[in-house]
Structure 1
């Protein structure tokens, strides 16, 4: 019966710990999480491989239990390894000393991609309009007029529906040599910091215009919708939200992808109890960047390995394996 199965599970887990093997397949299969074990790993004993373990993270509680079990077996050592750190007053000097470039400009939205897109549109349409002016007869009037109006249409779309224009700008941004690397480094930072602070990852995407990391936590979701986030949860979510910005700040002179992160953080701050004042929100943002940057620097090998894995479109399982196997 269930009791006999439970006793058997405890005995098998105890034996697995003693001999350094992974947990048996049936032991960790519950609901939306599937862990299939078997075989020995390297020097650490338990090893997570694509053929040995599959994680389908559809339920946050099950995903967390599965990762907790792997941590107990000695494999997922980095999972939820970052203890809670209380929020404190943080200065820009601390960010600079940590290695953040141009810390004073972190919260200023970048216009690099927007400016490059608009300059290209205006320059191209202007050049074509001049050429079209050489056409004979009425064509030399109407074609330049219509061509030149393209710039006005683009500006109108940007004013009325900025989201539509952002899709085009995102696609155009791929012309920058560092854009794909920025995306991978940015999203890998969200993934890694969430993993280190104990928040399960459901999935991710590096596709242009769809860059994101999906986190799954049923309890946090309920608190978020009810507007009842406490300080501890707000602090953790703030650090995860600012991780991408911190990663770019450590690597590049100019941060490009901070707008969405700041918007996400503000969404969390709007649902805190008690509400935070403007000065408190500013300090929380700085503190979150400081903690996120510290975690990334202290786990640089894991971050670099994760960037590589995500760039190769590895599964969530493959990404976790890259984190844990990084030296």
Structure 2
């Protein structure tokens, strides 16, 4: 199983410099703390299990480290219990525009299409001043670019989405937003006791790999129970919660909402539309609460992931925060 985020955007100029400076400082701090915290603790079994992509071995290694007092945050929130949740609770938590969280963002798509149409239109007008046949054919060819883009979106949406993802790096909040989003998935999964085997912050490949053989079997067989659905819902909505706590608009929720719906569809017994809506609200509320209560760990993890740290180093970053 993977929790993926497809909406991305990039830092530039002073905002990028400020973010990178903060990341470097935090990275240095968590490395020092992690080295100190792990002193005298053997992490080889955990490192080997992660390398082998063995979720059971990772879980076992973390359980053992927890018993000796090192992996204190691992599985520190094992019990989740769904309850009726209201929009005002999300607002009180600090979620901005809570009523619009489940509405897919079109910011990146609109910006891309407006740029394509605007640029080709401007160049078309300019090219119309060219002498002879060039003044006819060049504007015509430029104008057809917009039609080609729309055609690609209709025939192969994946290609258009990849182009939109690449274009999104020009937004000033890209790196910080995506790091916060993916670190939230990683941290909440860790707190709930689901082993993490990998992650990516690359454009179009943003995800946290929560592969778990038992869960995989339940998902594919369509036999997820309410307890497992609740855990997966909180992890899936963690990225949305992280964005909602900081930004006025959430742009990385589309893939997460799709993933949550896939889990809901594979749950027995099926839940009603009203229950699905409540599940989403409750999952955002709990994930947001966990992130606020573990803000320092979240920031340390963002720093580590932004530097492409290994999964083991990411875990050390989480555990380095007292």
Q: How many residues align?
A: 287
> SS at 2:198's partner residue?
strand
**Displacement after TM superposition at 1:85 (Å):** 2.2
Residues 39-188 of structure 1: matches in 2 within 5 Å? 42=36, 46-47=40-41, 55-188=50-183
> SS at 2:197's partner residue?
strand
Pair 49,273 (structure 1): closer, same or farther in 2 beyond 3 Å: closer
Counterpart in the other structure of 1:238: 233
Counterpart in the other structure of 2:11: none
Question: 2:197–2:311: 8 Å Cα contact kept in structure 1?
Answer: yes
**Which runs of 5 or more structure 1 residues have no equivalent in the other structure?**
1-40
Higher helix share: 2
- CA distance in 2: counterparts of 1:127 and 1:87, whole angstroms: 54
- Give CA deviations for 1:86-130 in whole Å, capped at 9, x if unaligned: 111100000000010000010111111111111110111011111
In terms of Rg, which structure is larger? 1
Counterpart in the other structure of 1:325: 320
**Displacement after TM superposition at 1:221 (Å):** 0.4
Counterpart in the other structure of 1:210: 205
**Displacement after TM superposition at 1:159 (Å):** 2.2
- Give CA deviations for 1:17-73 in whole Å, capped at 9, x if unaligned: xxxxxxxxxxxxxxxxxxxxxxxx8578754679x9554251111111011011111
Counterpart selection for 1:299 from 294, 297, 300: 294
**Which runs of 5 or more structure 2 residues have no equivalent in the other structure?**
1-34
* TM-score, normalised via structure 1 length: 0.84
Residues 220-239 of structure 1: matches in 2 within 5 Å? 220-239=215-234
Pair 42,128 (structure 1): closer, same or farther in 2 beyond 3 Å: closer
Question: 1:57–1:202: 8 Å Cα contact kept in structure 2?
Answer: no
Counterpart in the other structure of 2:16: none
- CA distance in 1: counterparts of 2:238 and 2:57, whole angstroms: 25
- Give CA deviations for 1:198-256 in whole Å, capped at 9, x if unaligned: 10011000001110000121111000000000000000000000000000000111100
* TM-score, normalised via structure 2 length: 0.86
